[in-house]
């Protein structure tokens, strides 16, 4: 008699405004800074291979500041603000402001600036 191979059930991951554990700490690269030098805290909870890339998911917290961002040609992000406010500025002078309970999708190839207006906590999912 053959014993079936059991595949473990996919694991659910809860993301909260007060994540447990120690975050990774960093600051924007000096050449990208526009204003301030905000401390950024990242609790990455998912780092998984996709058939054609990678996915990252977790909680991110940041102090006020502003810096340049550039998404790769296959990189995209969807985030939801839990606490605080931010603006994402495009290269043409427009922006979207996002606050608690709101989300934003940043498409592949996007170039602009990320501005934290108030201390910000967000959940994110980045796919490359």
Residue 2 pLDDT: 65
Torsion from C-alpha of 29, 52, 103, 24, nearest 10 degrees: -40
pLDDT tens string 44-58? 999 999 888 999 999
Domain boundaries, the chain: 24-127
Name the CATH topology of 24-127: Jelly Rolls (2.60.120)
Residue-wise pLDDT for 96-124, tens only, equals: 999 999 999 999 999 999 999 999 999 99
């Amino acid at each position: 008699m053959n014993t079936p191979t059991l595949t473990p059930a996919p694991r659910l991951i809860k993301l909260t405004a007060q994540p447990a554990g120690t975050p990774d700490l960093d600051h924007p690269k000096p050449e990208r800074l526009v204003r301030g030098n905000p401390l950024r805290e990242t609790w990455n909870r998912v780092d998984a291979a996709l058939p054609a890339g990678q996915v990252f998911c977790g909680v991110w917290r940041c102090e006020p500041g502003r810096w340049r961002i550039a998404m790769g040609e296959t990189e995209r992000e969807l985030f939801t603000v839990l606490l605080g406010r931010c603006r994402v500025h495009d290269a043409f002078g427009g922006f979207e402001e996002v606050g608690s309970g709101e989300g934003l999708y940043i498409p592949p190839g996007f170039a602009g600036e990320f501005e934290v207006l108030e201390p910000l906590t967000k959940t994110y999912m980045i796919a490359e």
